[in-house]
Amino acid sequence: MKRKTKIEELRAAGRDDLLAKEKNLKEELFKLNAQRYSGRVDKPHMFSQVKRDIARIKTILNEKKAK
């Protein structure tokens, strides 16, 4: 149920908010990759979670663009 409310929140957000969230998530993914290559990853599950969140945001941006 949490995912559905998150998607609804993202759909309700404005384009600028979504772009800002995408930028923040990409920075977080960059930091995670830096940790991976330095050999210390505290939360390895975050890679897939962050990638999925980025994909969700891109999907919603494309939906808004199509309208």
Sign of the alpha-carbon dihedral angle for 64, 5, 23, 26? negative
What is the model's pLDDT at position 5? 64
Domains and CATH numbers, the chain: 2-66 (1.10.287.310)
What is the model's pLDDT at position 66? 86
pLDDT tens over the chain, length 67 residues: 456 668 889 999 999 999 999 999 999 999 999 999 998 888 889 999 999 999 999 999 999 988 7
What is the model's pLDDT at position 3? 63
Please write down the HEC assignment for all residues of 12-64.
HCCHHHHHHHHHHHHHHHHHHHHHHHHCCCCCCCHHHHHHHHHHHHHHHHHHH
pTM: 0.87
What is the model's pLDDT at position 67? 76
